[in-house]
Amino acid sequence: MLVVAVAAATDDAAALSRELLASPTATAVLERRCGAPVRAEVDRTVHKDPTPEQRMRLGVGPDERVVYRSVVLRCAGVAFSVAENWYVPSRLTPEMNAALEQGDTPFGAVIRPLHPHRKPLEQVTAGVAPYVLRHRALVLDGEGRVLAEVVENYTPEVLG
């Protein structure tokens, strides 16, 4: 019985992964799955500098500001994703930066006017417990400029 449950969860995680790869933002996928708005529970006490490799992928020099955002994405109070986001504020509007710095709106919803899309870097469905899936991706605007690098860990609740 356990083997069947694990196989079903793995199949569901693979389906979620495909859905994320086909969508411009993770926020859109989570809202479709939940049927309600997603809220970002932001931990503003945590800070992580981007690595030199991340700076290279983001296309920024050593002195350009990169903001780190640690969030739990919740829908109807249920945690669907635990995510990290390194974004380049100079590539966003002042209103977008204010929303990210002060509010609970997910990154994908804030940047929607920029016509974002994702460039996948890694998808992992095994060995990421307690999560069922991990995605790492670059988020680009409609013109192909890199806005952010994200690492998203999806909880079993998103599969239900």
CATH code (residue 117): 3.40.1410.10
- Tally of domains within the chain: 1
Distance CA(23)–CA(36), nearest Å, equals 17
CA distances from 107 to 10, 11, 61, 157 (A): 27, 27, 23, 21
Q: What is the pLDDT of residue 9?
A: 55
Range of the domain at 74: 2-159
Q: What is the pLDDT of residue 143?
A: 96
Neighbours of 151 (CB within 10 A): 15
Q: What is the pLDDT of residue 5?
A: 34
Q: What is the pLDDT of residue 45?
A: 95
The tens place of each residue's pLDDT in the chain, 160 residues long, gives 333 334 445 688 889 999 988 988 888 899 898 888 899 999 999 999 999 999 999 999 999 999 999 999 999 999 999 999 999 999 999 999 999 999 899 999 999 999 999 999 999 887 788 999 999 999 999 999 999 999 999 999 988 8
Tell me the residue ranges of DSSP E strands in 44-100: 67-75, 78-87
Q: What is the pLDDT of residue 3?
A: 31
pTM (2 d.p.): 0.88
